[in-house]
Amino acid sequence: MFYALSWFVVFGLLALWSLGAWAFHAIAVWAVSNAGVLTGAASGVASGAEGLRLPDWLSPWVPPEIVQAMTSLLSGLAPAVEGLLQAAPSLAGGLSVATWVIWGLGSVLLVLLGMGLHLLIALWHRRGGGSGPQPRQPVTA
C-alpha cells in the first residue's frame, strides 16, 4: 500500500514538473521569438530628446546631476540592448535545449526520490514497522 502511494506521489510530482517545464518553454520561446519587435520601442525610449523622465512625485527628491548621469548611461547602453533584442529570436533554439536538459535532470531526481522512498519503506517493513503479519514467537515452557 505504501509503495503504491509513494510512487503515485512521485509520478504526480513528475507530471507537475513536466507541465511546468512545458509551460515555461512555451512562454519563454514566445517571448524570445517576439523580442525583436520591441527593438523600436527600446531605441525610442533611450534616445528621447528630454532624457530620463521621472514621475512628478519623485523629481523633487532626485538631484538633476543624477538624472543627467542616468540619461547618459542609458543612451550609451541603448545600442547594446538593441543588439541583444535583435539577436534574441536566434536564441530560442538554445533555450529549448536548456529547458529540456533541466527537465531531464529534474525528472531523474524525482525518480531517484521515488527509489529512495521505496527503499525507506522496505527498511521500515523489515524492522517490523509495517502492518503485515508478524512472525510467531516460540513459546517456551
Distant-in-sequence, close-in-space partners of 9: CB < 8 Å, separation ≥ 6: 117
CA dihedral 66, 69, 70, 76 (to 10 degrees): 180
pTM of the model: 0.56
What is the structure's pLDDT at 45?
A: 44
What is the structure's pLDDT at 66?
A: 87
What is the structure's pLDDT at 93?
A: 75
Q: Show the cell assigned to 52.
A: 530620463
Could you report the per-residue pLDDT of 85-102, keeping only the tens digit for each? 677 667 777 888 899 999
Low-confidence ranges of the chain (pLDDT < 70): 33-52, 81, 85, 88-89, 129-137, 139, 141
Largest CA distance in the chain: 104
What is the structure's pLDDT at 35?
A: 61
What is the structure's pLDDT at 129?
A: 63
* Distance (Å) of CA 16 to CA 11, 23, 134: 9, 10, 38
